[in-house]
Amino acid sequence: MLYAGIMSFKIKHIIFLGTLFTLLNLFFPNKNLNALTLTETENVSIGAIVGSIPTIDPSPGGGTYQSGVRFSGLAYPNALVTVQKRDSTFVTVTADEKGAFSILIPESSWQLFTLFAVDVKGRKSTLLNFPTILYSGYITDISGIRFAPTLVTDKLSVKKGDFITVSGSALPNSNIEVSFEGEESKTFYLVSDSLGFFSATVPLDLKNGEYVVRAFYPKDSRTSKALKITVGNSSILRNEATNNIPGDCNFDQNITLVDFSVLAFWYGKPNPPKCVDANSDKIINLVDFSIVAFYWNG
């Protein structure tokens, strides 16, 4: 198997991919609203390998493909890493105990790939988009991918001066930063254990207001999913709040495009179901969309 022109570079040297992704969204709207494109701090290797790869299609009549793409990098120990194509085809592999993964996808033309990882506790990473042009007879090798940590907090609202617990998954024995951004800013520094878990209970002596919480590796612009919390006059556990999320009509404790589709269906119509009537005024309007959007975590 021969390597043809393998090259490593910073993403700022292939900024045209970001422009391409923007144009593609005009023609193929991307439903992954939390998705990130490649960042300037991400170093990836892209190479072309001449040869064939085994099919990952177990159906009869399989064989080998003369072109495709391989994604490899780091997620979390034993995480499920998924690649989704724009036609909604999914391929999933399990990362090893150090978080390393590799996925081969047979393909021969332009494709928009979306990658995400789910840690062993079911917490989902931020999505990564890779618009990729593939050529017949070559296997495109995209390596050096690293997912940002996952993150969850035990409270949705925190009384000023009260404690909040932040936890998630990352690479084993890695430095993690957890930032609170809002009326004030504060960053906590943590270290994951040998299994990739991190957790800390910290005091929040911040001004009252709304804050966005993110976890990330030092000097990496990619972050976990952004979590919204409120510092105010009372503390509300997140699991208590998510048992009855406004707009969660399928009761999966997540607000996704499925819930927004239901909300859109009832827009302006009489007698909407209680689950979509976020402010209980018996009509669905932009106020309901605003409330439900606050809980977005799709």
Q: Is the pLDDT of residue 38 over 60?
A: no
Mean pLDDT, the chain, whole residue set: 76
Unique residue bearing structure tokens 């404690």: 163
Q: Is the pLDDT of residue 242 over 60?
A: no
Domain(s) of CATH 1.10.1330.10: residues in the chain: 245-294
Q: What is the pLDDT of residues 185-227, one digit of tens each?
A: 999 999 999 999 999 999 988 999 999 999 999 999 899 988 8
Domain(s) of CATH 2.60.40.10: residues in the chain: 2-146, 152-237
Q: What is the pLDDT of residues 135-174, one digit of tens each?
A: 777 888 899 999 999 999 999 889 988 999 999 999 999 9
What's the average model confidence in pLDDT over 257-268? 80
CA 76 to CA 18: how far, in whole Å? Answer: 26
Range scoring the smallest mean pLDDT among 9-18, 20-29, 74-83, 111-120: 9-18
CA 83 to CA 105: how far, in whole Å? Answer: 9
User: What's the CATH fold of domain 152-237?
Assistant: Immunoglobulin-like (2.60.40)
Kindly list the distances between the CA atom of residue 35 and the CA atoms of 45, 164, 227, in Å, as whole numbers in the listed order: 21, 27, 15
CA 294 to CA 256: how far, in whole Å? Answer: 11
CA 39 to CA 18: how far, in whole Å? Answer: 9
Structure tokens at 20: 């391409």
Residue 66, pLDDT score:
63
Residue 182, pLDDT score:
92
Q: Which CATH superfamily is domain 245-294 in?
A: Dockerin domain (1.10.1330.10)
Q: What is the pLDDT of residues 69-123, one digit of tens each?
A: 899 999 999 999 999 887 667 889 999 999 999 998 887 777 888 899 999 998 8
Q: Which CATH superfamily is domain 2-146 in?
A: Immunoglobulins (2.60.40.10)
